[in-house]
A and B are shown apart, each in its own frame.
Chain A
Amino acid sequence: MFPRTEMLDLVVADGRARGVVTRDMVSGHIESHSADAVVLATGGYSNVFYLSTNAKGCNATAIWRAHRRGAYFANPCYTQIHPTCIPQHGEYQSKLTLMSESLRNDGRIWVPAAAGDARAANEIPEGERDYYLERRYPAFGNLVPRDIASRAAKAVCDGGQGVGQSGRGVYLDFADAISRLGKDAITAKYGNLFEMYERITGEDPYQIPMRIYPAPHYTMGGLWVDYNLMSTLQGLFVIGEANFSDHGANRLGASALMQGLADGYFVLPYTIGDYLSRHIGEGRLATDHSAFQRVETEVGDRLKRLLEVQGKRTVDSLHRELGNICIEFCGMSRRAAGLEQAIGEIAALREEYWQNLKLLGTGEEINQSLEKAGRVGDYFELAELMCRDALLRGESCGTHFREEHQSPEGEAVRNDEDYTHVAAWEFKGVSKEPAMHKEPLHFENLALSQRSYK
């Protein structure tokens, strides 16, 4: 076990992953680790949006570095925005707290029917409330899938009906459930969630409705893997949210847990043997081999460059700005002009990062700003790929909603003829166009159809 150690690059030799290079986060020491195979279980990239439900330490460096070394990145634009999170309450907001989706079993979602209605929730009579999910989707009501619920929340807030200081919030109301089932039943089911909400907002959900708003949460995109969970790089395996498999353009609750268990517990222990069996007796590559030495030097150089910029902007300010661009142009709703603008703005911001980053201290000590700086650097490149992927996919599919491809009622319209494929991207260099490889999807047992929740 190597606590307080961060993987900063992958070592590839003869087309095979042979190990990783890490940085000790206490001493700053750069070290090579040689391996028979490399498994990445490093999670998703929702923190590209800065504000997400992910922990602050979550980052995409491991998979991005592997992508730069040759592992294809599939469907980066498939990012899930979870509908029930506590809304942002200030510029200093550090993350968005998830309120469990189970709340939607009993809560009713509504906004004031009139835009700009600033009355307190309990002062708005029933007749002046818009239970918009129940209205738009009578069959599923408040239980529509996450992408539908998120887009609907955004739509009503865009139309001025949003609640809370920022106008970016909708109500999740338990008044009916409490009067129907009794407070004790609600406490038994949701007591800890209600407490959590009250700790953060200071409001009591037993008395006034919860305020929620969608927030980035899970990423279906990730490194491409085959059925053995091996990436396009021999010997590099990717499991859990870090890969693109198991989930297509959408995902339901608790499936990340399923994916973690399935990939790590049921699948990989069997499938990794297939690769290892082809190399029995070969031994590992020594860490003094030039392949390791070269990567160690590159890692060290990159860290040095970051420390030497000595500009004026903090990492967090750059990360926040990147997050704003991504959520605005590549969030719940996307359109061609916006994505092109985003690609340009992200490239410019990445340049600014390399010219104007401010870091203090050295690399030979605990330096949390340096740690963050490396991760944000990778996020710039990932964000650009995410926007390119969203731009290229000219249809609305699952969580990827293109405004140019919607029905008159505002529902997603897919283009199965042209887009029934996985978009697997190959890295070609930082300022170069990546190459997209299509993996066609063949549906043998199911017929593709249109979702309807009416």
Chain B
Amino acid sequence: MRLTLRVWRQRNQQAAGRFETYGISDASPDMSFLEMLDVLNEDLLAGGTDPIAFEHDCREGICGACGLMINGVAHGPERGTATCQLHLRKFQDGDSICIEPWRSRAFPVLKDLIVDRTPFDRIIQQGGFISVNTGSAPEANLIPVPKAVAEGAMDAAECIGCGACVAQCPNGAAQLFTGAKISHLALLPQGRPERAQRVLKMVRAMEDHFGSCSNFAECEAVCPKEISIDVIGRMNREFATALLIGSNESANS
């Protein structure tokens, strides 16, 4: 397959970036998108040009490290597919492909296609976990959880934190990401003790860095784990409840 790639290059966070065009002449339809970039990079290196920097790790769609805007769509044309899972057989011989990093003010470009997703870490640090003591585990079967609830929690927990939702959202909002984590923990008994605190703190952190949600649902359309915007509805409900009723932990919550 022959392909023409227009790729965003940027030396570092401070430098201005620009598009560079590269031609690929012998791509195999069985190659993954990132393998295509690997091969291009080997050629660039051999020719003395700085290779294209891009993030990746598992190459299987489960770690959330990779993420490219491909022809303007986060993770490319296939539904429920992360960038690393995209294969060239989904493109045509002779296609032109535009490759950019995640586009969002919250995610500054560090180099070429690598962005800084630290704002996601800030949100998680505010409550995206439960507090337990190490050393011994309670007997899991003593806490009955209806299967449908467990499935709902698992659906939300599938979020890999890639940031596609933010990148695709016209407002640069992070509601799908935050909503997924809050839903996951709010649905399970283990998440109950800190349920109110968690949503209040995480939503505040989210609003510190990201835009607001106006229900475009672009996020849901590009999420590689096909997470539903139901998680946003649940987060909003959890937030309102926490504000009105508060938690048992402190009179000021």
Contacts of A26 in B (CB 8 A): 110
B window 2-52: CB within 8 A of A: 11-12, 28-32, 34-35, 38-39, 42, 45-46, 48-51
Residue on A with the closest CB to B34?
A94
A97 to B58, CA, bound (A): 9
Question: Which residues from chain B contact A98 at a C-beta distance below 8 Å?
Answer: 60
- Choose one: B34, B38, B57, B137; the contact of A57 (CB below 8 Å): B57
Question: How many residue pairs between the two chains, A and B, have CB atoms under 8 Å in the bound complex?
Answer: 87
For the complex, is A283 an interface residue (Cβ under 8 Å from B)?
A: no
| A368 partner, pick from B30, B53, B59, beta carbons under 8 A | B53
Residue pair B85, A200 in contact (C-beta under 8 Å): yes
A residues within 8 A CB of B60?
95, 97-98, 196
Instruction: Give 1 or 0 for each of A54-83: 1 = CB within 8 Å of chain B CB.
Output: 011100000000000000000000000000
Query: A453 interface residue, CB < 8 Å from B?
Result: no
Residues of A within 8 A of B56 (CB): 56
| Candidates A93, A202, A365; contact of B89 at CB < 8 Å | A202
Q: How many angstroms between the C-alpha atoms of A365 and B42 in the bound complex?
A: 19
Knowing A94-B34, A202-B30, the reply to whether A360 touches B111 (Cβ < 8 A) is: no
A196 to B39 alpha-carbon distance, docked (Å): 23
CB contact between A316 and one of B38, B53, B57 (< 8 Å): that residue? B38
B134 interface residue (CB < 8 Å to A)? yes
Stretch in A154-162, A207-215, A265-273 with 4+ CB within 8 Å of B: A265-273
Which residues of chain A are near B59, meaning CB under 8 Å?
55-56, 94-95, 97
Output the least CB separation between A265 and chain B (Å). 5
Give A89's nearest chain B residue, CB to CB. Answer: B30
Query: Within 8 Å of chain B (Cβ to Cβ): is A113?
Result: no
Q: Mark B135-150, 1 if CB is under 8 A from A, else 0.
A: 1110000000000000
- Most chain A CB within 10 A, of B49, B50, B58, B65, is at B58
Q: Are A55's CB and B45's CB within 8 A? A: no
In Å, the complex CA distance between A269 and B132 comes to 13
**Given A26-B110, A314-B46, A316-B38, A90-B136 contact (CB < 8 Å):** no
- Option from A55, A94, A97, A201 in Cβ contact (under 8 Å) with B35: A94
CB contact under 8 A between A199 and B45, given known A26-B110, A93-B35: no
**Separation of A93 and B63 alpha carbons in the complex (Å):** 19
A269 & B42 in contact (Cβ 8 Å cutoff)? no
B12 touches A314 (CB 8 A): no
Q: Does B121 contact A (CB under 8 A)?
A: yes
- Beta-carbon contact of A94 and B32 below 8 Å: yes
Instruction: Given A26-B110, A266-B136, A366-B111, verify A92-B38 contact (CB < 8 Å).
Output: yes
A92 to B1, CA, bound (A): 15
Residues of A within 8 A of B118 (CB): 3
Q: Chain A contact residues (Cβ within 8 angstroms of B): what range?
A: 20 to 34
Is B87 an interface position by the 8 A CB rule? Answer: yes
A90–B87 contact, CB under 8 A? no
Cα separation A366 to B110 with both chains bound (whole Å): 8
Closest to B63 in A: A55
A448 is an interface residue with CB less than 8 A from chain B: no
Q: Which residues of A contact B111 (CB under 8 A)?
A: 365-366
Which parts of A315-329 form the interface with B (CB within 8 Å)? Answer: 316-317
Q: Would A92 and B31 be within 8 Å (CB), given that A1-B121, A265-B134, A266-B136 are in contact?
A: yes
Check if B81 is an interface residue, CB within 8 A of chain A.
yes
Q: Mark B105-122, 1 if CB is under 8 A from A, else 0.
A: 000001100100010010
Q: Which chain A residues numbered 242 to 278 have a C-beta less than 8 Å away from chain B?
A: 265-266, 269-270
A202 to B89, CA, bound (A): 8
Say whether chain A's binding surface is mostly helix, strand, loop, or mixed. Answer: loop
Contact at A92–B35, with CB atoms within 8 Å? yes
Query: Does A358 have its Cβ within 8 Å of any Cβ on chain B?
Result: yes
Q: Roughly how many angstroms separate A426 CA and B121 CA in the complex, as a whole number? A: 40
Kindly state the separation between the CA atoms of A346 and B48 in the bound complex, as whole angstroms: 27
Q: Is the CB of B50 within 8 A of A269?
A: no
Residue among A56, A266, A316, A317 with the highest chain B CB neighbour number at 10 A: A56
The answer to whether A3 touches B121 (Cβ under 8 A) is yes
User: A360's contact among B51, B81, B85, B89, by CB below 8 Å, is which?
Assistant: B51
Q: How far is the CA of A109 from the CA of B61 in the complex (A)?
A: 26
Chain B CB count within 10 A is highest, among A98, A196, A361, A366, for A366
CB-CB contacts below 8 Å: B212-229 with A? none
Q: A199-B87, A366-B53 are in contact. Are A360 and B110 (CB under 8 A)?
A: no
Which of B29, B85, B110, B134 sits near A199, CB closer than 8 Å? B85
B residues 72-87 with Cβ under 8 Å of A? Answer: 78, 81, 85, 87
A268–B38 alpha-carbon span in the complex (Å)? 39
Given A26-B110, A94-B35, does the pair A199, B81 have CB atoms closer than 8 Å? yes
B58 & A316 in contact (Cβ 8 Å cutoff): no
The docked-state distance in angstroms from the alpha carbon of A187 to that of B49 is 47
Q: How far is the CA of A366 from the CA of B63 in the complex (A)?
A: 21
The 7 closest A-B pairs by CB, nearest first: A55-B57, A366-B111, A55-B58, A269-B134, A57-B57, A92-B35, A95-B59
Return 15 A-B CB contacts under 8 Å, by A number.
A1-B121, A90-B31, A94-B32, A94-B35, A94-B59, A95-B59, A196-B61, A196-B85, A199-B78, A199-B85, A202-B89, A265-B135, A265-B137, A269-B135, A358-B46
| New A-B contacts (11) at CB < 8 Å, excluding given A94-B59, A314-B42, A369-B45 | A3-B118, A26-B110, A57-B57, A90-B30, A196-B85, A266-B134, A266-B135, A269-B134, A358-B45, A360-B49, A360-B50
| Interface positions of A (Cβ within 8 A of B) | 1, 3, 26, 55-57, 89-90, 92-95, 97-98, 196, 199-202, 265-266, 269-270, 314, 316-317, 358, 360-361, 365-366, 368-369
